[in-house]
Structure 1
Amino acid sequence: MKVDFYHLTVTPLERALPQIAEKVLASGGRLLIVSESEAQRAALDRLLWTYTPESFLPHAQAGAGDDAAQPVLIAPAPEPANAARNVAIVDGVWRDAALGFDRAFHFFDEDRIVEARAAWRELGDQGAVERRYWKQNDSGRWEQAA
């Protein structure tokens, strides 16, 4: 199981998340996006339709239709009704339920850095978890720091 920690310092979630989602879909995978915040889920729903003029990411919010058919599903909890094996935690709150996926993307900013560090340490004690920490350089490019 892989967990990628993405420390948002230069690029906001609204630019980083669609890039990850595109890569997951391009590889033939499905993605579950998790946030407790109803407002954040609604904003991400709008974003994924319009983030670039030339494309969109097929998706839905959990409970809005046929969840099982959605390549990308936005939900309040890490319950993959779309059979996703990839989960993106976008509200900065780590959930151990993400360990049931093949890969987790944990996005956090400065407001959640203490919690992210605690999750990093806890996951380090689990031998079946491969952790990677990504930070942004001054130009906004992602670099693996750990």
Structure 2
Amino acid sequence: MQVDFYQLAGTPIEAVVPQLAAKTLESGERLLIVASDAKLRALLDEALWTYDPASFLPHGQSGDETGADQPALLSAETDSANAAKFIMLADGEWRDAALNFDRAFYLFDADRLDEARNAWRSLAVMDAVEPRYWKQDNGRWRQGP
């Protein structure tokens, strides 16, 4: 299982989530995007609609009648109504339930740095988990040391 740590470091969450979601959907995978705050989910919902002016990223909200059919689903919970194998923890809060997925994207900013470090330490000693760290380098995501 792979856990990708993305330190936002000033990059707006509404720019990162659609970028990662687009790559996930292009690979043919489904994605569960988790954020406990309703305002953040609304911001991400709008960002997914407007990310590419020529199109949109197909998605829905957990609890909607079409949620199970959506390739990307926004939710406050880690229960995957859309049968996603990939999960994105978009609010900076690590949840151990992410380990039930094939791949996890853990997005965090400076306010959650200590929590991210603790999550890294606990995951790094698990045999079945491969944590990877990503950082911005001239506007592109690069895997860090």
State the TM-score, normalized to the length of structure 2: 0.96
* 1:93 equivalent in structure 2: 93
Runs of 4+ in 1 over 3 A off after TM superposition: none
Deviation, structure 1 residue 52 = 2.2
* 2:109 equivalent in structure 1: 109
Larger deviation: 75-84 or 42-51?
42-51
* 1:20 equivalent in structure 2: 20
- For residue 79 of structure 1, what is the amino acid of its counterpart? D
Is the Cα contact below 8 Å between 2:7 and 2:134 reproduced in 1?
A: yes
Is the Cα contact below 8 Å between 2:59 and 2:70 reproduced in 1?
A: yes
Deviation, structure 1 residue 11 = 2.3
In structure 2, C-alpha distance between the alignment counterparts of 1:140 and 1:117, rounded to whole Å:
23
User: Root-mean-square deviation (CA), in Å?
Assistant: 1.0
Deviation, structure 1 residue 108 = 0.4
* 2:74 equivalent in structure 1: 74
In structure 2, C-alpha distance between the alignment counterparts of 1:142 and 1:125, rounded to whole Å:
25
- Per-residue deviation, residues 69-122 of structure 1 (Å, max 9, x unmatched): 010000001111100000000000000000000000000000111100000001
Written as runs of structure 1 = structure 2, the 5 A alignment for 1:1-146 is 1-137=1-137, 139-146=138-145
State the TM-score, normalized to the length of structure 1: 0.95
Q: Which runs of 5+ in 2 are unaligned?
A: none
- What SS class does the counterpart of residue 55 from structure 1 fall into? coil
In structure 1, C-alpha distance between the alignment counterparts of 2:66 and 2:143, rounded to whole Å:
37
In structure 2, C-alpha distance between the alignment counterparts of 1:144 and 1:47, rounded to whole Å:
24
- What SS class does the counterpart of residue 36 from structure 2 fall into? coil
Larger deviation: 2-11 or 94-103?
2-11
Count of aligned pairs: 145
In structure 2, C-alpha distance between the alignment counterparts of 1:8 and 1:136, rounded to whole Å:
8
- For residue 64 of structure 2, what is the amino acid of its counterpart? A
Is the Cα contact below 8 Å between 1:135 and 1:144 reproduced in 2?
A: yes
In structure 1, C-alpha distance between the alignment counterparts of 2:141 and 2:27, rounded to whole Å:
20
- For residue 140 of structure 2, what is the amino acid of its counterpart? R
- For residue 57 of structure 2, what is the amino acid of its counterpart? L
In structure 1, C-alpha distance between the alignment counterparts of 2:83 and 2:17, rounded to whole Å:
19
- What SS class does the counterpart of residue 36 from structure 1 fall into? coil
Deviation, structure 1 residue 42 = 1.2
- For residue 142 of structure 1, what is the amino acid of its counterpart? W
In structure 2, C-alpha distance between the alignment counterparts of 1:104 and 1:121, rounded to whole Å:
16
